[in-house]
Amino acid sequence: MSDGQDGRANGRPPDGTRITPEHDDLLLDVMLGKLATYLRMCGYDAVYALDEGIEADDAVQRRAAADARRLLTRDRELAASTPGSILLTARDVTDQLRELREAGVDLTLAARPARCGACNGSVDSLPPDCDRPEYAPDEGPVWRCRDCGQCFWKGSHWDDVAATLADL
Protein backbone atom coordinates (compact mmCIF):
# COMPACT_ATOMS: atom_id res chain seq x y z
CA MET A 1 0.00 0.00 0.00
CA SER A 2 1.39 3.39 -0.92
CA ASP A 3 0.64 6.45 1.10
CA GLY A 4 1.15 9.98 -0.09
CA GLN A 5 2.04 12.84 2.18
CA ASP A 6 -1.57 13.96 2.16
CA GLY A 7 -2.72 10.67 3.62
CA ARG A 8 -0.27 10.99 6.47
CA ALA A 9 -1.00 14.62 7.08
CA ASN A 10 -4.71 14.32 7.69
CA GLY A 11 -5.14 10.69 8.58
CA ARG A 12 -7.15 9.88 5.49
CA PRO A 13 -6.20 7.95 2.41
CA PRO A 14 -5.18 10.07 -0.57
CA ASP A 15 -8.08 11.32 -2.69
CA GLY A 16 -9.35 8.85 -5.21
CA THR A 17 -8.50 5.77 -3.17
CA ARG A 18 -11.39 3.33 -3.29
CA ILE A 19 -11.65 1.00 -0.35
CA THR A 20 -13.41 -2.28 -1.07
CA PRO A 21 -13.90 -5.61 0.73
CA GLU A 22 -11.90 -7.31 -2.04
CA HIS A 23 -8.80 -5.21 -1.44
CA ASP A 24 -8.96 -3.86 2.09
CA ASP A 25 -9.07 -5.57 5.45
CA LEU A 26 -9.93 -3.29 8.35
CA LEU A 27 -9.03 -2.86 12.00
CA LEU A 28 -11.45 -0.84 14.10
CA ASP A 29 -10.17 0.96 17.14
CA VAL A 30 -12.02 1.02 20.48
CA MET A 31 -15.50 2.62 20.48
CA LEU A 32 -16.18 1.49 16.93
CA GLY A 33 -17.74 -1.89 17.69
CA LYS A 34 -21.14 -0.99 16.29
CA LEU A 35 -19.55 0.21 13.07
CA ALA A 36 -17.74 -3.13 12.75
CA THR A 37 -21.07 -4.94 12.41
CA TYR A 38 -22.10 -2.75 9.48
CA LEU A 39 -18.77 -3.16 7.74
CA ARG A 40 -18.88 -6.94 8.15
CA MET A 41 -22.34 -6.98 6.60
CA CYS A 42 -20.84 -5.10 3.67
CA GLY A 43 -18.38 -7.97 3.30
CA TYR A 44 -15.32 -6.49 5.01
CA ASP A 45 -12.93 -8.53 7.09
CA ALA A 46 -13.25 -6.07 9.96
CA VAL A 47 -11.47 -6.86 13.22
CA TYR A 48 -12.62 -4.91 16.28
CA ALA A 49 -9.67 -4.18 18.54
CA LEU A 50 -11.56 -4.81 21.80
CA ASP A 51 -12.69 -8.25 20.58
CA GLU A 52 -9.00 -9.12 20.38
CA GLY A 53 -8.09 -7.51 23.66
CA ILE A 54 -6.05 -4.82 21.92
CA GLU A 55 -6.35 -1.36 23.39
CA ALA A 56 -3.01 0.45 23.60
CA ASP A 57 -2.12 2.64 20.62
CA ASP A 58 1.13 0.83 19.86
CA ALA A 59 -0.59 -2.56 20.04
CA VAL A 60 -3.29 -1.34 17.65
CA GLN A 61 -0.65 -0.06 15.24
CA ARG A 62 1.32 -3.31 15.42
CA ARG A 63 -1.78 -5.36 14.66
CA ALA A 64 -2.72 -3.15 11.70
CA ALA A 65 0.78 -3.45 10.29
CA ALA A 66 1.09 -7.19 10.93
CA ASP A 67 -2.18 -7.96 9.09
CA ALA A 68 -1.89 -5.12 6.54
CA ARG A 69 -5.21 -3.82 7.82
CA ARG A 70 -6.42 -0.29 7.31
CA LEU A 71 -7.03 1.34 10.68
CA LEU A 72 -10.26 3.18 11.47
CA THR A 73 -10.01 5.28 14.61
CA ARG A 74 -11.47 8.28 16.42
CA ASP A 75 -8.04 9.07 17.88
CA ARG A 76 -6.54 11.96 15.96
CA GLU A 77 -2.94 11.32 17.00
CA LEU A 78 -3.17 7.62 16.29
CA ALA A 79 -4.64 8.32 12.84
CA ALA A 80 -1.91 10.84 12.08
CA SER A 81 0.84 8.38 12.96
CA THR A 82 -0.68 5.36 11.17
CA PRO A 83 -0.22 5.36 7.38
CA GLY A 84 -3.41 4.76 5.40
CA SER A 85 -5.69 5.08 8.41
CA ILE A 86 -9.06 6.80 8.38
CA LEU A 87 -9.95 9.30 11.08
CA LEU A 88 -13.58 9.35 12.18
CA THR A 89 -14.88 12.34 14.08
CA ALA A 90 -18.57 11.45 14.50
CA ARG A 91 -19.99 9.56 17.47
CA ASP A 92 -23.17 8.35 15.81
CA VAL A 93 -22.74 5.23 13.72
CA THR A 94 -24.78 6.59 10.80
CA ASP A 95 -22.60 9.70 10.73
CA GLN A 96 -19.51 7.50 10.91
CA LEU A 97 -20.76 5.54 7.89
CA ARG A 98 -21.21 8.83 6.08
CA GLU A 99 -17.62 9.80 6.91
CA LEU A 100 -16.40 6.47 5.59
CA ARG A 101 -18.30 6.88 2.36
CA GLU A 102 -16.73 10.32 1.92
CA ALA A 103 -13.32 8.73 2.52
CA GLY A 104 -13.92 6.38 -0.41
CA VAL A 105 -15.09 3.30 1.46
CA ASP A 106 -17.45 1.15 -0.60
CA LEU A 107 -20.54 0.58 1.57
CA THR A 108 -22.68 -1.86 -0.36
CA LEU A 109 -24.58 -4.51 1.51
CA ALA A 110 -23.13 -7.85 0.40
CA ALA A 111 -25.52 -9.81 -1.82
CA ARG A 112 -24.34 -12.93 -0.05
CA PRO A 113 -23.04 -12.58 3.50
CA ALA A 114 -19.33 -13.29 3.78
CA ARG A 115 -18.63 -12.31 7.39
CA CYS A 116 -20.41 -12.83 10.68
CA GLY A 117 -21.59 -9.47 12.00
CA ALA A 118 -21.07 -10.64 15.57
CA CYS A 119 -17.54 -12.05 15.45
CA ASN A 120 -16.09 -11.47 11.94
CA GLY A 121 -15.87 -15.22 11.24
CA SER A 122 -16.41 -16.57 7.73
CA VAL A 123 -19.91 -17.84 7.02
CA ASP A 124 -21.23 -20.81 5.07
CA SER A 125 -24.60 -21.29 3.40
CA LEU A 126 -26.63 -23.98 5.09
CA PRO A 127 -27.70 -26.62 2.59
CA PRO A 128 -31.44 -26.44 1.79
CA ASP A 129 -32.08 -29.92 3.16
CA CYS A 130 -30.38 -29.33 6.52
CA ASP A 131 -32.19 -29.01 9.84
CA ARG A 132 -32.79 -25.31 10.09
CA PRO A 133 -32.44 -23.73 13.49
CA GLU A 134 -35.83 -23.46 15.17
CA TYR A 135 -35.68 -19.69 15.30
CA ALA A 136 -34.83 -19.30 11.60
CA PRO A 137 -37.54 -18.57 9.03
CA ASP A 138 -38.89 -21.55 7.09
CA GLU A 139 -37.98 -20.08 3.72
CA GLY A 140 -34.98 -18.40 2.16
CA PRO A 141 -31.25 -18.93 2.54
CA VAL A 142 -29.66 -19.22 5.98
CA TRP A 143 -25.97 -18.81 6.74
CA ARG A 144 -23.94 -20.01 9.69
CA CYS A 145 -20.75 -18.58 11.12
CA ARG A 146 -17.86 -21.05 11.13
CA ASP A 147 -16.41 -19.48 14.28
CA CYS A 148 -19.29 -18.70 16.65
CA GLY A 149 -22.05 -20.81 15.10
CA GLN A 150 -24.54 -17.96 14.87
CA CYS A 151 -27.11 -18.36 12.09
CA PHE A 152 -28.49 -15.46 10.12
CA TRP A 153 -30.68 -14.65 7.16
CA LYS A 154 -31.99 -11.66 5.28
CA GLY A 155 -34.65 -10.67 7.79
CA SER A 156 -35.72 -7.40 9.36
CA HIS A 157 -32.21 -6.61 10.67
CA TRP A 158 -30.84 -7.03 7.16
CA ASP A 159 -33.55 -4.68 5.83
CA ASP A 160 -32.76 -2.11 8.53
CA VAL A 161 -29.07 -2.10 7.58
CA ALA A 162 -29.94 -1.86 3.89
CA ALA A 163 -32.19 1.12 4.62
CA THR A 164 -29.51 2.85 6.70
CA LEU A 165 -26.92 2.43 3.95
CA ALA A 166 -29.37 3.59 1.26
CA ASP A 167 -30.16 6.77 3.23
CA LEU A 168 -26.56 7.90 3.82
**Is 50 within 8 Å of 74 (Cβ atoms)?**
no
Least Å distance between CB 148 and Zn ion?
Answer: 3
Tell me, what DSSP letter sits at residue 43? Answer: T
Q: Which residue number, 4 or 149, has a Cβ lying nearer to Zn ion? A: 149
Least Å distance between CB 118 and Zn ion?
Answer: 5
Q: Which residue number, 17 or 152, has a Cβ lying nearer to Zn ion? A: 152
What are the C-alpha distances in Å from 8 to residues 85, 87, 103, 112, 158?
A: 8, 11, 14, 35, 35
Least Å distance between CB 11 and Zn ion?
Answer: 30
Phi, psi (rounded to 5 degrees) for 85: -75, 165
Q: Which residue number, 13 or 117, has a Cβ lying nearer to Zn ion? A: 117
Number of H helices, E strands in the chain: 6, 7
Least Å distance between CB 120 and Zn ion?
Answer: 7
Q: In the complex, which residues of this chain contact Zn ion (CB under 5 A)?
A: 116, 118-119, 121, 145, 147-148, 150
Least Å distance between CB 152 and Zn ion?
Answer: 9
- What's the residue count for the chain? 168
Give Dmax (Cα) for the chain: 55
- Alpha-carbon distance of 161 to 83, in angstroms, equals 30
Q: Which residue number, 14 or 133, has a Cβ lying nearer to Zn ion? A: 133
Q: Which residue number, 37 or 96, has a Cβ lying nearer to Zn ion? A: 37
Identify the CA nearest to 123 among candidates 99, 144, 92, 97: 144
